[in-house]
Structure 1
Amino acid sequence: MTALAEPETDIASKPPTPPRTWHRPAFFSLLGLTAILYLWDLSASGWANAFYSAASQAGAESWKAWFFGSSDAANAITVDKTPAALWVTGLSARLFGVNAWSMLVPQALMGVGSVALLHAAVKRVSGPTAALLAGIVLALTPAAALMFRFNNPDALLVLLLVASAYCVTRALEKASPRWLALAGVAVGFGFLAKMLQAFLVLPAFGLAYLIAAPATLGKRLLHLTGALAAMIVSAGWYLLVVALWPVNDRPYIGGSQDNSLTELVLGYNGLGRITGDETGSVGPSSWGFTGWSRLFGDEMAGGIAWLLPAALIALGAGLWFTRRARRTDPGRASLVLWGGWLLVTAATFSYMSGIIHPYYTIALAPAIAALVGIGATQLWRRRDDMLSSALLASGVALTALTAYLLIARQSGWLPWLGPVVLFGGLAAAVLILFTGQLPLAAQRGVAVLALAVTLPGTGAFTVATAASPHTGAIPSAGPANDRGMRGGPGGLLGTSLPGENLTALLKKDSARYTWAAATVGSNNAAGFQLGSGLPVMAIGGFNGTDAYPTLAQFQQYVRSGQIHYFLGEGMNMRANSGSDVAQQIADWVAANFSATTVDDVTVYDLS
């Protein structure tokens, strides 16, 4: 099928052309090269995000910690997310041991799976060429290479959302309630990976089905209701279990102020990200400028902006050319699905006032890739039409210009590449305008030239991203900077492992204690825990601002001999809001116990 149908012939409703002989080997080559790109030298990033690695370590030792996503195997407090991503890495750690590979390989395989599912979804509507191009673009998106080589929940979220888009595509073919319900299940589990962000695709998916499914309006609404119910069940069962579980028999819900997963979902990690009202947040009260230009700003552009203008042109062109197609036209439905995904998610990221990080933009990558694959293929097929060739030329020229500007921001990085891409792209754009008048062999040469000048920018940046180690809570795409590792600072957002003397001290008599130590903040605790292999209590959770444990609880833990040491290294209580129990505990420990220094870490023996 084609996504840019001629209104008179409605060719978008025709069955897809059988795959050509080159397609299958090209597809498997794409998957193989993607696997190499995402798997190569993964161990260079070490524990990557130690916050999640420590929780995976805990899940490998305790099934309760695995189920709740606890930061430590003694189940003091959870991470500040629902734990679906940790279920995957925790199982991997159980099977293959607690090491960097067992934490990161699942994410790389999720990347390969995302490319395969995107290819399958696009191919069903727009054919093998568009599908292959979409898969290439996704694989060569820097934000994708970053997150599919890292252990944040975003990799699982993207895999599940692409799976849901594939299910919606299948549902649209015959108005299938079963496929639509499966789409709802995938989004529901996406919620368990990264909560409300998973729901950003729902307007696009629902609108595409409501517009184009070949059934009566009543049946379409009934099917959507069923899919919504499936999504609620697949996401809500976990919230219900946590709510009904005895509070004294489970860990504290990290990121919340009242030990409530519902508050976490709707507050700090939910609507608070939109409004900026995030109780317990630390750091800036404002997370940068808002507006559509945010995606092209210095922080986010390198990860995602390379083909964003081309995707928007493809979306506009596709909707224009299918404006008179029949209601059930699958090409237009595909544009609504992927275009709606792109526009809603981009608008949210552009205007949200709360915590936002550049790597979030991986959620835009599948939609951009699909639109570029669909649009480029179909505009090329219509190249004899002046408007189509002009739109295609504009996409190539804007992509070249965008790449030039993004490369120019990277001081000293491949300075020759920007001019080559820019002038090559402009030359290809001019040739595209006159392609219809050229011999067939020359036309194919122009197509090869266009690909050769539009993909090297994003491709080189992606390879540079994959070749750079990444650690900490806020990794960024691109070549290694002068710090050698791309990630967040130590203390609050980064992690350092304990030295040999401190590790030996933590292990001494550790079997007598529930927690070998306690310290303020999850990243500090994660470093000590990964280094020693022992449970370390993260006082106050990720930011040190959660209301756990209270001073009275901590004092009881000490009196009952459950905590051996308090580690004062890296204490950071610069909260804008939230609980101050971490400060209370730190003050109480300092006033009642003697301090020593081991490997530059302040240690209080609570025994």
Structure 2
Amino acid sequence: MTTMARPVSADRTTSRRAGDPRWVRPALAGLLAATAALYLWNLNASGWANAFYSAAAQAGGESWKALFFGATDPSNAITVDKTPAALWLMSLSVRIFGLSSWSVLVPEALLGIASVALLYATVRRVSGPGAGLLAGAMLALTPVAALMFRFNNPDALLVLLLIAGAYATIRAIEKGSPQWIVLAGAAVGFGFLAKMLQAFLVLPGFALAYVLAAPVSLGKRFLHLLGALVAVVVSAGWYLAVVALWPAASRPYIGGSQTNSILELTLGYNGFGRITGDEVGSLGGAQSSGSWARLFGTEMAGGIAWLLPAAVLALGALIWLTWRSPRTDLTRAAAIAWGGWLLVTAGVFSYMSGIIHPYYTVALAPAVAALTGMGATRLWRLRVHPVAAGLLSSGVMVTTLTTFLVLNQKSDWQPWLRYSSLLLGLGAAALLVVAGQLSRTVSRAVAVLALVATLSGTGAYTMATAATAHSGAIPAAGPNGSAFGGGMFGGNFRGGMGSLLGTTTPGETLVSLLRNDSSAYQWAAATVGSNPAASYQLAADVPVMAVGGFNGTDPAPTLAQFQEYVRAGKIHYFLGDSAMRSTSGSDDAQQIADWVAQTYPAMTVDRTTVYDLTR
């Protein structure tokens, strides 16, 4: 085992970088160019993608206050139900290039390209350029990554910042650097500003890797980690402090909370409520108990499951191969950092009882790609050893079987692919057992065959994802382009605009009506729910108040406040005549809809019920 577990030191990594083979730079350039083509090609096809965030980007492009707080309209009625770091990038793009689907989505694609490049840099420091290229390619060819790097949910920024945290952690471990581990904490803290507490799921793995492997005394290791924790608190907490101390009357209501509190949003609706299912204001309620099989179910498997078993096997192989290495072994430390990221995040996603959507699994993609790339290249170098060859063969076989099972769930899509991938994979797995005894030319051919077999399924599904338009609040990876808009939340319960999670394009007559004399009002219209409000706002380019926030269950505004706005002549129209009743949260939106319907005459414009609040 000692000969199979030689550590890679930081000095060796540096020297190898200086003497890289000539193919490394062209290969990296090719990887990034292909990633750019994949993520940027036909980006406008998805239109506004998630209109909820597009409307907030539109608002931020017009109002600096809306940009800072993440308000859904430029008149600052209510914020999105997240901290707004991802919106800052989109809003700045809108300010520079003007409002369009491209200006909203291109920052996300650029974040994806940067994520692939940074993952390459992180993995190569430990395992060399081959492993870095393989990891970068695997990330780029993960379907849920292609989905989210071509979409405008906050996950793209979250992924990049977490990879930055992993990179800084590896740099810190190399020499026991307090500066780098503090930077790692700051990166994760800023990740909080993209998607709140989800960012912190990587911290146990990063901290464990540093405390076990950093080449300084135990006391210094803990002291450095304390500094990193301070960096996390400061980089995440400054925004919470500013919002909490800002006078509530001069900022938008904090969407997703019942008390206009960002701390409630952090710890409740977007915090522990996601674990327990006790999310006040949610329309769904607690789910049934989860299990490890959730990530392989029909909703999530197509996005992330392809290489997930191989990543777990690679984690075990890397730990086993470095078991007797010195405490400071960088390969083992990196495996612990990535493995902690993978296991903690996968465990939470598998067993949480609150709101969870398939696209959340993009947070697993960097760890899956890094572990698989590191493990595959390490085992390939040791293929003359029967155990290493057996593990390498097992990784290809388990990936092949996973690919077959995932594709079998979509039996009507390219049915030939699952059988060809299975045959190629099984053949490659058999040849890898004896790869150490083959000539260099033949063994390289076997490696190419194994790569084609293992990446054919996820690659084809990624291409299908990128080639399909996705829109709505809950996009899904794959060729169907399905977004959640029906089922338990569906139904035509508001004036022709569909569900609270769905959006449509208003007719030209209604758009003209909203634009007419809109500058005389703080809000050209109000309607229940953020997604319907976004549809009207994006189409007419006028401020539209989202009564009740995303789910229509926030007490913003209350009935009394809404009536005061109407008396003051601040709202022109109310659109729709009913609201979704929830088992939790505020029913102010329903009260407002009922009051409007009882007080003002209704008219129908483009199949939408419209009330003129100035009559």
TM range (shorter): over 0.9
SS across alignment from 1:185: helix
Matched, 1:516 2:517: no
Alignment of 1:173-572 (within 5 A): 173-283=174-284, 285-287=285-287, 290-480=290-480, 486-489=483-486, 490-568=498-576, 571-572=578-579
SS across alignment from 2:415: coil
Alignment of 1:73-88 (within 5 A): 73-88=74-89
Deviation of the 1:5 alpha carbon: 7.2
Distance 2:520 2:122 in 1: 55
Distance 2:287 2:188 in 1: 27
Report Cα offsets for 1:382-435 as digits up to 9, x if no partner.
Answer: 111111111110110111111111111113211111111001100100101111
SS across alignment from 1:34: helix
Distance 2:39 2:417 in 1: 23
Identity between Structure 1 and Structure 2 (%): 65
Report Cα offsets for 1:320-350 as digits up to 9, x if no partner.
Answer: 1111111111010000011110000000000
Whether the 8 Å CA contact 1:7–1:323 is kept in 2: the answer is no
Distance 1:12 1:119 in 2: 18
Distance 1:163 1:9 in 2: 27
SS across alignment from 2:430: helix
Distance 2:56 2:567 in 1: 27
SS across alignment from 1:129: helix
Deviation of the 1:7 alpha carbon: 6.0
Q: What residue ranges of structure 1 are gaps of 5+ in the alignment?
A: none
Whether the 8 Å CA contact 1:497–1:530 is kept in 2: the answer is no
Report Cα offsets for 1:328-376 as digits up to 9, x if no partner.
Answer: 1101000001111000000000000000000000000000000010000
Moved more, 312-321 or 14-23: 14-23
Hey, which bits of structure 1, 4+ residues long, moved more than 2 A? 4-14, 285-289, 485-491
Distance 2:537 2:288 in 1: 33
Alignment of 1:130-145 (within 5 A): 130-145=131-146
Distance 2:234 2:224 in 1: 15
Q: Are the structure 2 counterparts of residues 254 and 486 from structure 1 closer, same or farther at C-alpha, using a change threshold of 3 Å?
A: closer
Distance 1:179 1:587 in 2: 57
For residue 40 of structure 2, what is the aligned residue in structure 1?
39
Report Cα offsets for 1:536-584 as digits up to 9, x if no partner.
Answer: 0000000000011011100000000000000016x44131200000011
Distance 1:380 1:167 in 2: 27
Distance 2:5 2:480 in 1: 53
Distance 1:117 1:572 in 2: 45
- Tell me the TM-score normalised to structure 1 length: 0.97
RMSD of aligned alpha carbons:
1.3
Matched, 1:601 2:608: yes
Report Cα offsets for 1:237-262 as digits up to 9, x if no partner.
Answer: 10111111111000000000000000
Whether the 8 Å CA contact 1:314–1:375 is kept in 2: the answer is yes
SS across alignment from 2:12: coil
Which amino acid is 2:608 matched to?
V
Which amino acid is 2:112 matched to?
G
Distance 2:362 2:7 in 1: 34
SS across alignment from 2:526: strand
SS across alignment from 1:470: coil
Whether the 8 Å CA contact 1:470–1:487 is kept in 2: the answer is no
Which amino acid is 1:551 matched to?
L
Which amino acid is 1:492 matched to?
L
For residue 596 of structure 2, what is the aligned residue in structure 1?
589
Whether the 8 Å CA contact 1:114–1:159 is kept in 2: the answer is yes
For residue 153 of structure 1, what is the aligned residue in structure 2?
154
Distance 2:80 2:554 in 1: 11
Q: Are the structure 2 counterparts of residues 5 and 151 from structure 1 closer, same or farther at C-alpha, using a change threshold of 3 Å?
A: farther
SS across alignment from 1:596: strand
Matched, 1:580 2:587: yes
Whether the 8 Å CA contact 2:5–2:322 is kept in 1: the answer is no
For residue 94 of structure 2, what is the aligned residue in structure 1?
93
Matched, 1:163 2:132: no
Whether the 8 Å CA contact 1:154–1:362 is kept in 2: the answer is yes
- Equivalent pairs counted in the alignment come to 599
Report Cα offsets for 1:258-315 as digits up to 9, x if no partner.
Answer: 00000000000111000100000003x3435511111000100000000011111100
Distance 1:9 1:277 in 2: 49
Deviation of the 1:463 alpha carbon: 0.3
Whether the 8 Å CA contact 1:287–1:356 is kept in 2: the answer is no
Deviation of the 1:13 alpha carbon: 6.9
Deviation of the 1:486 alpha carbon: 4.1
Distance 1:558 1:295 in 2: 48
Deviation of the 1:487 alpha carbon: 4.7
Moved more, 574-583 or 259-268: 574-583
Distance 1:223 1:92 in 2: 37
Whether the 8 Å CA contact 2:6–2:322 is kept in 1: the answer is no
Whether the 8 Å CA contact 1:6–1:322 is kept in 2: the answer is no
Moved more, 435-444 or 375-384: 435-444
For residue 6 of structure 1, what is the aligned residue in structure 2?
3
Whether the 8 Å CA contact 1:71–1:77 is kept in 2: the answer is yes
- Tell me the TM-score normalised to structure 2 length: 0.96
Q: What residue ranges of structure 2 are gaps of 5+ in the alignment?
A: 487-497
Distance 1:264 1:110 in 2: 26
- Residue 12 of structure 2, aligned match among 2, 6, 15: 15
SS across alignment from 1:58: helix
Report Cα offsets for 1:494-518 as digits up to 9, x if no partner.
Answer: 1112110001111111111100000
Moved more, 178-187 or 487-496: 487-496
Distance 1:5 1:251 in 2: 61
Distance 1:465 1:376 in 2: 26
Distance 2:476 2:20 in 1: 38
Distance 2:47 2:526 in 1: 23
Which amino acid is 2:52 matched to?
F
Whether the 8 Å CA contact 1:475–1:488 is kept in 2: the answer is no
Whether the 8 Å CA contact 2:579–2:590 is kept in 1: the answer is no
For residue 29 of structure 2, what is the aligned residue in structure 1?
28
Deviation of the 1:606 alpha carbon: 0.3
